[in-house]
Amino acid sequence: MSPNPPDIAVVIPALNAATHLRTALASLAAQDADFEAVLVDGGSRDDTVAIAARAGVRVIQAPGTSIYEAHNLGFAETRAPAIVLLNADDALLPGALAAWRDALVQAPGAGIARGRATFAELDGAGVAGPVEGADERAAGPLDTDLLLRGPNAINSLCIRRAVFDRIGTFDTAYRLAADREWMLRAWIAEVPLVEIDRAVYRYLMHDGSSTIDRARKNFALVRRENIAIARRYLSGVPARQASPQTLRAVRQWHAAETTLLTSHQFRAGELRDVVDTMQRAFRAAPLWPLRAAREVAAWLWKQAR
């Protein structure tokens, strides 16, 4: 092994991921940059560990860990000065690691290199095809609207280890939204970011996806976690660290997420939960209904066009 750390560490959280893992690892093996890879297994009962071992990927056994606990463990177990996250059901696009590496070399002051993400969905025959509108939605430069409301696509980032040292790793209190919370934290900390004008990562939408799935099985949980993140940044120390523009965006996001959650609860007949959600929203932001009305008006205008 070289005495110097590799260019990039690739951290792969996995749990019963054998169905798609070979594709993910093949995309990694095809990269033309120096890297180390660590798969953190949460207690798989299928062939996940065996597949990773045969591919020469170092496996860390961590039964019971959540996806973000696995990420944090992987960060600690790697040496490279920059880190990429690879989901076990996704894929790196050709040349991605080299593109990230070169971008960080050319922008030594940047803490994050951000490429574009693409999105694919499996059809009934198991063939992957494009997800309408998703690539376009994620393609623009990172701003608060994309960060808070869009597919922020943290897997399209290459993050210097020094950034994690500075602002911390994932907050595992959030089971599904810790990536968005971390990106908001990085945004508020004004971590310098360099954009790469090319696609580097492919997300795969399928029935087993936690957040990118047609059934939206975790829709309510994601909304609750997003609301909790917004509440945190609307009060206390984090609010004093954020710029006025970012706080305005967070207030509007809080109203939008509250509207989405209460609408979901109302349709499900969960009237007590509707009342509880609204009461919590009033305590966090008394004017949220006005911002919610703006959200509804914007949606109606979009539908009428």
Torsion sign over Cα 102, 187, 6, 32: negative
Within this chain, do residues 62 and 91 fall inside the same structural domain, yes or no?
yes
Say whether both 105 and 68 belong to one domain.
Answer: yes
Q: Are residues 230 and 200 in the same domain?
A: no
Q: pTM above 0.75?
A: yes
Query: What is the domain count for the chain?
Result: 2
* 200 and 289 both lie in a single domain: no
Is 198 in the same domain as 272?
no
pLDDT digits (tens, 9 = 90+) for 189-239: 999 999 999 999 999 987 766 666 555 778 999 999 999 999 998 887 666
- The arithmetic mean of pLDDT across residues 131-137, rounded, is 82
Q: Do 225 and 193 belong together in one domain? A: no
Q: Residue 180 falls within a domain, yes or no?
A: yes
| Together in a domain, 102 and 224 | no
**155 & 262 share domain:** no
Please indicate, yes or no, whether residues 136 and 257 belong to a single structural domain of this protein.
no
Name the residue range of residue 103's domain.
8-205
What is the identity of the amino acid at 71? H
Question: For the residues 248-272, what does the mean pLDDT come to?
Answer: 95
Asked if residue 2 is part of any domain, the answer here is no
